[in-house]
């Protein structure tokens, strides 16, 4: 069976649909006969832009709180670079917070 990874990314809630579309178009969220699969949860992102930053939201040196959405989607491991490039192109932040890691989507053998 093909190996899969999981992408987790945090994005301002207002930009979540566009980001989901971008990563799905690059191949994230494909499993079996399904495409565009993802899971999302709402939360609050917190950060303080440092000197040299060009923040899309907030001001350098000040703590910011932003309504954000955590998006999770699995993808075939070989598609990582294309998916991360799509994420970076669609994400409004200068430095988006994201992670990828291996996942096991195998099923047990038939008895």
Whole-number pLDDT of residue 100: 98
- The 4-12 sheet, strands edge to edge: 39-47, 64-76, 4-12, 98-103
- Say if residues 68 and 44 touch (Cβ distance below 8 Å): yes
Angle between helices 16-25 and 80-90 (to 10 degrees): 150
**Helical ranges in the chain per DSSP H:** 16-25, 80-90
Other Cβ atoms less than 10 A from the Cβ of 28: the count is 30
Mean pLDDT of the chain: 95
Whole-number pLDDT of residue 31: 84
Per-residue model confidence as pLDDT tens digits over 17-58: 999 999 999 999 988 899 999 999 999 999 999 999 999 999
Q: How confident is the model at residue 59 (pLDDT cuts 50, 70, 90)?
A: very high
Class level of CATH domain 4-102: alpha beta
User: Which residues, in sequence order, are CB contacts of 18 under 8 Å at separation 6+?
Assistant: 90
**Residue % of the chain over a pLDDT of 90:** 90
Q: How confident is the model at residue 107 (pLDDT cuts 50, 70, 90)?
A: confident
In terms of Cβ atoms closer than 10 Å to its own Cβ (0-12, 13-18, 19+), residue 99 is exposed
Whole-number pLDDT of residue 7: 98
């Amino acid at each position: 069976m093909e190996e899969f990874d999981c992408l987790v990314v945090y994005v301002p809630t207002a930009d979540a649909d566009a980001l989901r579309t971008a990563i799905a178009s690059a191949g994230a969220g494909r499993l079996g006969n399904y495409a565009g699969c993802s899971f999302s949860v709402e939360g609050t992102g917190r950060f303080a832009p440092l000197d040299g930053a060009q923040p899309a939201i907030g001001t350098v040196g000040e703590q910011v709180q932003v309504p954000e959405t955590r998006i999770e989607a699995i993808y075939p491991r070989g598609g990582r670079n294309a998916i991360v490039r799509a994420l970076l192109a669609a994400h409004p932040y200068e430095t988006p917070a994201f992670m990828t890691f291996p996942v096991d989507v195998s099923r047990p053998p038939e008895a």
